[in-house]
Amino acid sequence: MLKNLANRGRGGYMSNRLSDSVLLIEDNAELVTNLEYILRVEGIAFRSALDGLTAIPLLRRYMPRVVVLDLYLPHMTGFEVLDYIRSNAGLAGTHVIVLSGATQSSRELESMADAADTHFCKPVDLDLLIDEIRRGLGQAQAGSAPEHP
């Protein structure tokens, strides 16, 4: 699993097939560190951005298959990033997993239903999140249905 760790770039594990990558857009550094570690161990290519403005050039350049997106980010909200993803034809097939704080209203989450593929409330169960990332990458195991909190 860690065989190509030496090829890891500054932003994450490097892939020859960039469309099979994940972009983490999250401003909680501890959560990002935990997810990066798990993705690295799982052999999943990824990049990370701590805010929405940093995420936009990464989206353009790497065209990730999966985006894990916090809604409340500095400089540009997750809502704006999601609008960008869904309005960009090249990113139309991107599997978007929204992470939301437990204090958000159900109205906000309902507004995401049409635009995001799925959402999780924080604190997030990392096993379920990794399962959903794998599903978005087309790596889900047969017979396993995703669970949502």
| pLDDT tens track for 77-92 | 999 999 999 999 889 8
SS3 sequence of 7-50: HCECCECCCCCHHHCEEEECCCHHHHHHHHHHHHHHCCCEEEEC
Sequence-separated (6 or more) residues with CB below 8 Å from residue 128? 120, 146, 147, 148, 149
Per the model's pLDDT, the better-predicted residue between 60 and 113 turns out to be 60
The confidence score (pLDDT) of residue 27 equals 94
Confidence of residue 115 (pLDDT cuts 50, 70, 90): confident
Mean pLDDT across the chain, nearest whole number? 80
The answer on pLDDT for 1 being more than 80 is no
For the chain, domains (ranges, CATH) are 5-136 (3.40.50.2300)
| Share above pLDDT 90 across residues of the chain, in percent, rounded to a whole number | 58
pLDDT of residue 139: 74
Residue 64's pLDDT is: 95
Lowest pLDDT segment from 2-11, 61-70, 101-110, 125-134: 2-11
